[in-house]
Chains A and B, each alone.
Chain A
Amino acid sequence: MAKIMVVEDEVVIRQLIMEELEKWQFDTIGTTDFHQVGADFEAENPQLILLDINLPVFDGYYWCQKIRETSKVPIIFISSRNTNMDMIMAMNMGADDFVTKPFEIDVLIAKINALLRRSYNYVESSNETLVHNGLTLNIDNSSMSINDETIDLSKNEYRLLYILMKNHGKILSREKLLRALWDDERFVDDNTLTVNINRLRRKIEQTGTAGYIETKVGQGYIVP
């Protein structure tokens, strides 16, 4: 899996980003010595760099320029600086993207994935799946395989099943599921959620597995 270098001097943020990246099966390297970010880069040769602007010793712009002298590795800036000037400067120094603090980790992961895909022509490991309790969710073509049957899922069904399986064993409230179904054009209401859950259940039951998704009255849904 791709190796990502996190150049960030705030320990907590660095740790949390690295933990999250590891959850997504990335290899991570955290920088601790800010005198030799360049040397670390040469030694580790990561596929992508997350770079803060405000760093001890030299700032992020400096390292970005330094790295660009020798490499075309994708670089994403992560900073609390958010003026247009900062962003333009970052881009001119050769950065590929700019994320301002505070950020949603999901957004960062999405950007990393997109950038990796573009830079290395990843055919996003076509066997990417979530497996739980005999059901396999195929992430790249949003279908599920269960009891030797493969069934296509609608966008909403896929989103629901994905978040439920990823957090199996935990009750997910309706609010959280509605967040997962968020649509940019119109509000997805409670009824839509109920309808989609029911359709999903029916699709799973048709293959002979009952009770894959349980209802917790007043709390939400759970994939045990």
Chain B
Amino acid sequence: MSTDLTTGASPARVAFYNDPKVRSIIYQVVLCGIIAFLVFGATINAIDHLRSAHIASGFGFWDNAAGFDISQTLISYSSQASTYGRAFWVGLLNTLLVAGLGIVFATILGFTIGISRLSKNWLLAKFAASYVETIRNLPLLLQLLFWYNAVLKALPDLRNSVVIFGGTYLNNRGLFLPSPVFLYGFSVVVAALVVGVIGSIAFYTWARKRQERTGQQAPVFWVTLMLIIGLPLVVLALKGFPLSFDYPQAGRFNISGGLEVLPEFAALLFGLSIYTAAFIAEVVRAGILAVSRGQTEAAYSLGLKPGPTLRLIVVPQAMRVIVPPLTSQYLNLTKNSTLAVAIGYPDLVQVFTGTVLNQTGQAVEVVAITMLVYLTISLTTSFLMNIYNSRVALVER
């Protein structure tokens, strides 16, 4: 006999202002309102005070002539014709360049050190451990100053430049490489490169499918190498080498022409990569240790050597644990690149928040823009990493 559960008295109706749900909504709305009011009030307050103190405000400074020079510019920039806005983009590109390359090098180095620390080779493991312990515990600013001064002191001065292959100069002003000048007809080589890339992707997909079906492996690595490097080279030769080089020329004071790599850039890149690699090494080690021992034993019992085991079994599973902290380390590296101001590398903070702020005097606008830019860079990085993360995440059945 079933009890009729619906005939029980329904819960007593309370007044809507006593309902916990309604209460919590009201509290949250009021809190948001207060915060918005405070932020709005503070902004109005700041604008008012700036105006009464006759301090210029607004974003008109963006189109004013810059008047100063920047030592490394990835886009065209001149002290006379360029504006503060242009200087902002130059600084931003410099930051992105050092952050991007730093992330790549730090990842490679970090993974190597992290895996080395788990190696059976005693010397390798101890070396990796001491690397991590030393680098992690020294302040980054000290390390940057060390690299900058060490790099500069070790290099010869201009008169005694190290000349490599007759076209490359190395001295304490930088590394001067011959820069390629693309002549007419080079676009065919670029097209060949694109064809090579597409071809190798197609080959890789076909090889995977065939391996899943029949178990036969194909030499993907060599074919890819041939397509991406060999094919464009062949086309280059066939077209008669439509490529010339702009060689650096030694002048009275400096070397002009060619591609210039500043010592400030090199020092910042080394310092950031080595520092962040120590942290990434620990993250990688944690990830690998998180994979259960049974996986390795099963792989060995199937006859896999330790190398392929690590590459095909352990690391793909470890990536689940590695990727979230790895994202943090990437964001740290990007933000740590602002220490460039200490060694004279013209990154965004040095150019924009340093020089432009001082020349215009508009601290509020400039700092707000800089914070917004770093926030955007960080959010984009973590967004992309989260896409990758969701792909390697464990799918629960």
Whether chains A and B associate is no
Interface residues of B (CB under 8 A from A): none
Interface residues of A (CB under 8 A from B): none
